[in-house]
Structure 1
Amino acid sequence: MNPIQHLVVIGTGLIGGSVSLALKRAGVVHRVTGVGRSRENLELAQQLGVVDDWTHDVARAVSSADMVLLSVPMNAYESLFAAMADHLPVGCVVTDAGSTKQTAIAAAKQILPNPERFIAAHPIAGTEQSGAAAAFAELFDQRLCIVTPESDSDAAALARVKEMWQQTGSRVEVMSASDHDEFLASVSHLPHLAAFALVNAVSKQATETQDPFRFAAGGFRDFTRIASSSPEMWRDIALCNRDALLHQIELFQVELNGLREALLADDDERLLNEFGAAKEARDNWLAKHGEGL
């Protein structure tokens, strides 16, 4: 086990901050530098022990790093890669925590001098909270982290990134970037869009005298929890994974249209079959994977 001498976390929010705290908990990182735009958030991160020091200067931060983690909106990758490209030390490994992988890899190949040392990753963990104050060391415990190397990825860099995510408490799985983006479009990106759409649909029904949210209870709260997530982050995820997400929206619309047809036809048997199939599929999923949720 090789400790990380200097980890630079670009984006010291929930995910980036939790990575730092998890590695500090494991005793495998000597120094963590936070990089971000908000002075207030960076100062809070240092006060909370999430980072040891901070700067707004990407180039200066990475100049002595042996590991760099990007935990930022997807549309920031190109500018950040450009800012660090001429300042990364020989042997420095770069990884990320973004929700789409093909666009991240494409940006690295276009801009970084040694893109084979960029190992894309995505921890499947999070909450609807944001900022350094939301970070906690246990966020990744027994959660899946997907690593998506390329055929020409540096073997030592890949091993180091896998080890780092394991040290956070994650269960690491390797797959292709294209498979990752398609799978995550169905089980993560589409649910977020559905939650945003449902909240907006209900909100637009409000009048001066009636507030439909007044009648919402636990089911609505649970289903729409993720609509409280960062709009900026999810805008970028949706656009970066557009093709896979459009495919999943089409599949979802097919299911909604089927339910609409059943309602129009008063087809109680079809409704029962559809609801039963969904319940069985979800129950089986929880029985098989529930402990890691």
Structure 2
Amino acid sequence: MSDFAALSTGDDPVEFGKVVIFGVGLIGGSFALALKSARAVGEVVGFGRRPASLREAQDLGIIDRAGINPAHELEDADLVLVATPVGQMPDIFAQIAPYIGPQTVVTDGGSTKADVAAAARAAFGDRLCQFVPAHPIAGAENSGAAASRSDLYQGRKVVVTPLPENGDEQLDRVKRAWSLCGADIHELPPEQHDRVFAAVSHLPHLLAFALVRDLAERPDAQLFFDFAASGFRDFTRIAASHPEMWRDICLANREALLGEIEAYQAQLNDLKAALARNNGDYLQQSFSVAREARRAWGDKQIR
């Protein structure tokens, strides 16, 4: 057992005596509930922009109390999770950097990593070793404290993107926390992470938002929505996601995302040309390639 796992609650040892969470919505709230369910944390302190949200989180048992001043809460924290939209993280990093204790480890739950790592590098200075970036791949279209679930991370991937400055102790602490939440831990460099997720997460969200907005702004929009069924539901489910969060993600990863948009547009142009030429063979070939790739991926998810 490491030094930070020395506290106990009753007869049960806990790995984290004190966890501080900035942003107690779906990601941060589910992290807190999962650690509590695993009996791995002694106290959870929450910070947020709206007092009403913090009161709700406390009423739901997500946090034990709301923090007032980071200077009073961070010195003895074992772990700090910043689970806000990525656009808020630079300000939060700058706010907390002077107060983290020598044994405190800070991590995040942002969907982009190169920008978060750069913000941490600017804020933490010679304490950068105490910040370990991470990305839990377990979002949902619902947000807020009430959407939090103790099992959100069970069997889900969490990608840790270590910095060269991180030591084994800091990295192991973050991995251990997510493992206690039930997650499967993976590692990628920040830049590679952003390139991958621009294609498999950020672009799909952008497409879903675009399709729903296109239909919503038509004069006879209700007619389309009245007849939309399972295909539309499945494709556009993520268009119900948090607009501020996805604005920040798209802007933070804009270079990689622009490249993915161009690649997707090339695919659409090929299909458009095939339609214009009445080229059914090309359409069928394209659809077959996509079907086989999708089935192979789906089979791996089941296993």
Q: TM-score band, normalised by the shorter chain?
A: over 0.9
Name the counterpart of 2:162.
Answer: 149
> Which residue, out of 123, 148, 155, partners 1:111?
123
Q: Following superposition of structure 1 onto structure 2, how do residues 110-129 of structure 1 map, counting pairs within 5 Å? A: 110-113=122-125, 114-129=127-142
Name the counterpart of 1:193.
Answer: 206
Name the counterpart of 1:9.
Answer: 21
Once residues 56 and 78 of structure 1 are traced to their aligned partners in structure 2, the CA distance between those partners, rounded to angstroms, is 19
Q: CA deviation at 1:140?
A: 0.4
- Residue 21 of structure 1 aligns to which amino acid in structure 2? L
Asked whether the 8 Å contact 1:100–1:181 carries over to 2, the reply is yes
Once residues 70 and 273 of structure 2 are traced to their aligned partners in structure 1, the CA distance between those partners, rounded to angstroms, is 55
Instruction: Determine if the alignment matches structure 1 residue 49 to structure 2 residue 91.
Output: no
Asked whether the 8 Å contact 1:15–1:135 carries over to 2, the reply is yes
> Which residue, out of 109, 120, 124, partners 1:97?
109
> Which residue, out of 149, 166, 169, partners 2:182?
169
Q: CA deviation at 1:150?
A: 1.6
The DSSP-based 3-state class of the residue aligned with 1:112 is helix
> Which residue, out of 224, 230, 237, partners 2:236?
224
The DSSP-based 3-state class of the residue aligned with 1:50 is coil
- Residue 212 of structure 1 aligns to which amino acid in structure 2? F
Name the counterpart of 1:75.
Answer: 87
Asked whether the 8 Å contact 2:115–2:252 carries over to 1, the reply is yes
Once residues 74 and 233 of structure 2 are traced to their aligned partners in structure 1, the CA distance between those partners, rounded to angstroms, is 41
Name the counterpart of 1:65.
Answer: 77
Once residues 60 and 257 of structure 1 are traced to their aligned partners in structure 2, the CA distance between those partners, rounded to angstroms, is 57
Name the counterpart of 1:36.
Answer: 48
Aligned length: 290
Q: CA deviation at 1:39?
A: 1.2
Structure 2: gaps (5+ residues)? 6-14
Deviations 1:3-41 (A, max 9, x none): 111100100000100000001111111100011011111
- Residue 204 of structure 2 aligns to which amino acid in structure 1? P
The DSSP-based 3-state class of the residue aligned with 2:153 is coil
Q: CA deviation at 1:56?
A: 4.5
Asked whether the 8 Å contact 1:59–1:83 carries over to 2, the reply is no
Name the counterpart of 1:182.
Answer: 195
Q: CA deviation at 1:203?
A: 1.5
Q: CA deviation at 1:276?
A: 1.0
Asked whether the 8 Å contact 1:7–1:29 carries over to 2, the reply is yes
Deviations 1:173-196 (A, max 9, x none): 111111110111100000000000
Once residues 234 and 275 of structure 2 are traced to their aligned partners in structure 1, the CA distance between those partners, rounded to angstroms, is 25
Asked whether the 8 Å contact 1:206–1:212 carries over to 2, the reply is no
- Residue 201 of structure 1 aligns to which amino acid in structure 2? D
Once residues 240 and 105 of structure 1 are traced to their aligned partners in structure 2, the CA distance between those partners, rounded to angstroms, is 12
How high is the sequence identity, in percent, across the aligned residues? Answer: 44
Asked whether the 8 Å contact 2:128–2:165 carries over to 1, the reply is no
The DSSP-based 3-state class of the residue aligned with 1:153 is coil
Q: Following superposition of structure 1 onto structure 2, how do residues 13-24 of structure 1 map, counting pairs within 5 Å? A: 13-24=25-36
Q: CA deviation at 1:272?
A: 0.6
Structure 1: gaps (5+ residues)? none
> Which residue, out of 143, 148, 152, partners 1:139?
152
Q: CA deviation at 1:64?
A: 2.6
Name the counterpart of 2:8.
Answer: none
Instruction: Determine if the alignment matches structure 1 residue 244 to structure 2 residue 253.
Output: no
Asked whether the 8 Å contact 2:75–2:102 carries over to 1, the reply is no
Q: CA deviation at 1:211?
A: 3.1
Q: CA deviation at 1:153?
A: 1.2
Asked whether the 8 Å contact 2:54–2:66 carries over to 1, the reply is yes
Once residues 263 and 154 of structure 2 are traced to their aligned partners in structure 1, the CA distance between those partners, rounded to angstroms, is 32
Name the counterpart of 2:9.
Answer: none
Once residues 292 and 188 of structure 2 are traced to their aligned partners in structure 1, the CA distance between those partners, rounded to angstroms, is 27
Deviations 1:135-192 (A, max 9, x none): 0010000100000002221221001101111110000011111111011110000000
